[in-house]
Amino acid sequence: MGVAASGSARPAVLIAGIAGLVAGSMSMAAGEYVSVSSQADTEAADLARERHELASSPGAEKAELVAIYVRRGLTKGLATQVAEQLMAKDALEAHARDELGFSDFSTARPLQAAVTSALTFASGALLPVLVSAVAPQSTFAWAIPASTIALLAILGGIAARVGAAPILRGALRVMFWGVLAMAISAGVGRLFGTTL
């Protein structure tokens, strides 16, 4: 968008598009990998500490769980029963879920998250790159943003539908932030394109 707005010819727009696609995919993958890895490390450390505490002071751990259930509204007697029965089945799981707030075990897969992020970014970036490859150069100013906005609306709608949220609101939200990002990119491109 930025390079197209500066009035550059097709090769420059296309190269910038492909570079943006690759750079964006790699940056999404790296960011996701680091983020999910550190989350997995934190979870593993929390579980190890919990396992150690359960082995060294089971009484205090049971009291901890009872206090949590009382805070959530159970009576002391029922909370004690619940804590005892859950800990008899799987003490670590009971503490992981109710004390640490883990809803699921070993869900963090850094490599999978990284590859998924890279592929989804690349597939989203592909349409504007394709448009800059095939559309007449004179139409770039509206064809690239229009096709991108249409794709953003469709993706926002699909995401909302999959999440059972209102489709129109989801589409509008993605469109709004996408258009804002494009307007800033185009603004920067125009600024440098006209002052050169």
Q: What residues line the site for Zn ion (CB under 5 A)? A: 61, 64, 95, 99
Give the residue nearest to Zn ion (CB): 95
Minimum CB distance to Zn ion smaller for 32 or for 61: 61
Report the nearest approach of Zn ion to the CB of residue 166 (Å). 40
**Strand intervals (E) in the chain:** none
Report the nearest approach of Zn ion to the CB of residue 21 (Å). 46
Minimum CB distance to Zn ion smaller for 57 or for 123: 57
DSSP state of 105: S
Minimum CB distance to Zn ion smaller for 79 or for 95: 95
**CA 103 to CA 163: how far, in whole Å?**
19
Cβ–Cβ < 8 Å for 144, 4: yes
Report the nearest approach of Zn ion to the CB of residue 89 (Å). 15
For residue 90, count other CB atoms closer than 10 A to its CB.
11
**CA 5 to CA 191: how far, in whole Å?**
9
Minimum CB distance to Zn ion smaller for 83 or for 113: 83
Tokens of 42: 């934190």
Minimum CB distance to Zn ion smaller for 55 or for 130: 55
**CA 110 to CA 54: how far, in whole Å?**
28
Report the nearest approach of Zn ion to the CB of residue 163 (Å). 33
Say how many CA atoms lie within 13 Å of 123 toward its Cβ.
7
Report the nearest approach of Zn ion to the CB of residue 84 (Å). 14
Residue 51's identity, in one-letter code, is R
